[in-house]
Amino acid sequence: MLLVIALAFMLFLGVIDNITGYEISFALFYLIPVSLAAWFAGREAGILVSIVSAATWYLANSLAGESFSNPLIPIWNSASRLGFFFIVTMLLSQLRRAIDHERTLSRTDYLTGALNSRSFYEIAQYEINKLQRQERAVTVIYIDLDNFKDINDNLGHFTGDEVLKSVVTKIGENIRAEDIVARLGGDEFAILLSETSQEKAYNVVSRLQRILLEEMEQSRWPVTFSIGVLTITTPATVSDIIRQVDELMYNAKNSGKNAICYAILNNETIDQQPANARELLIDA
């Protein structure tokens, strides 16, 4: 859509350029569609608009009756303008790519590619604030890797890194596109499930735990998962939510590890009623 707008604007400039004649230069204005295309649509789009802009400029001035002492001069001028447009396109597209890359690095964990804690807090708070306007629920999952220190101590940090990356990969493959996963600490991860009740979260988390355990077993890594699951139906701060779901995770870990502990945050209260040691279900 933006490319179409840039091309239409460039053609509009060509018409104006032709009407006003070659004595009034519109050279600077041709940079507008070139710059827009290069910045927002990428290098290839910028090159396309550059070529069309140079051709339009040449045609507009030719039709306006511009004359030269040598017929090669307008061709040379158009080639020079095209080269200038190419330079602007390359510089802007590279700058945009560098900015996007830095923005991505600032929002993601360098090792696993998951979101970092800052990004998770921002997105989670936005989703939770919606609870004031909509009757729905979101669920936050907090995952800690049991025995991860033993992996680093006995198998090395390289293997430990492979474990972390494998966990993020498997989670990403088994959650929806609108859900997010973040690495909050060394071996601690958080997942935000938008518009997810406790009943739906139960199915998601049970499946994730099974898939992760199968991955660890297949790779012969002695790792299990202690998981806290908090379903939120009322607005709250992400800091409070993380603190509470972290406590749920530790409840699961203290029950013997490799367990899941569920709870519902409703009207800013949590009623903890553990059901059993392997899978703790806490109802508000």
Residue 23: inside a domain: yes
Query: 9-44 b/e with 16+ CB inside 10 Å = b?
Result: bbeebbeebbeeebeeebeeebbebbbbbbbbbbbe
Q: Please tell me the predicted confidence (pLDDT) of residue 273.
A: 39
> Tens-digit pLDDT profile for the chain (284 aa)?
666 676 676 676 666 665 665 555 666 777 888 888 888 888 888 888 888 888 887 777 677 666 666 777 777 877 888 888 898 999 999 898 888 777 766 778 889 989 998 899 999 988 888 876 667 889 999 999 999 999 999 999 999 999 999 999 999 999 999 999 999 988 999 999 998 988 899 999 999 999 999 999 999 999 999 999 999 988 888 999 999 999 999 999 998 899 999 999 876 555 443 433 344 444 33
For 8, residues 6+ apart whose C-beta sits below 8 A from its C-beta are: none
Q: What are the beta bridge partners of residue 280?
A: 261
CA gap 157, 225 in Å, rounded: 19
Going through the chain in order, the beta strands assigned E by DSSP cover 138-146, 180-183, 188-193, 224-232, 260-265, 279-281
Q: For residue 7, how many other CB atoms are within 10 A of its CB?
A: 18
Please check whether residues 7 and 45 belong to one and the same domain: yes
Q: Please tell me the predicted confidence (pLDDT) of residue 183.
A: 95
**Looking at 83, 107, 131, which one is the last position of a domain?**
107
**Looking at 52, 74, 107, which one is the last position of a domain?**
107
Q: Please tell me the predicted confidence (pLDDT) of residue 270.
A: 52
Q: Please tell me the predicted confidence (pLDDT) of residue 279.
A: 46
For 170, residues 6+ apart whose C-beta sits below 8 A from its C-beta are: 208, 211, 212, 215
Q: Based on the structure, what is the number of domains in the chain?
A: 2
For 102, residues 6+ apart whose C-beta sits below 8 A from its C-beta are: none
Query: 119: which 2 tokens?
Result: 């990004």
Radius of gyration of the chain (CA): 29
Query: 221: which 2 tokens?
Result: 């890594």
Burial tier of 135 (Cβ tally within 10 Å: 0-12, 13-18, 19+)? exposed
Please check whether residues 266 and 154 belong to one and the same domain: yes
User: What CATH number does the domain containing 135 carry?
Assistant: 3.30.70.270
Please check whether residues 209 and 70 belong to one and the same domain: no
Q: Please tell me the predicted confidence (pLDDT) of residue 16.
A: 66
Give the pTM.
0.69
**Looking at 107, 139, 165, which one is the last position of a domain?**
107
Q: Please tell me the predicted confidence (pLDDT) of residue 115.
A: 93
Q: Check residue 150 and report its DSSP letter.
A: H
- Calculate the alpha carbon distances from 157 to 116, 137, 164, 186, 225 in Å: 20, 38, 10, 12, 19
CA gap 236, 265 in Å, rounded: 9
Amino acid at 245: V
Contact 65, 71 (CB under 8 A): no
Q: Please tell me the predicted confidence (pLDDT) of residue 166.
A: 95
Q: Please tell me the predicted confidence (pLDDT) of residue 265.
A: 84
Find the domain containing 71 and state its range.
2-107
CA gap 48, 69 in Å, rounded: 30
Please check whether residues 81 and 130 belong to one and the same domain: no
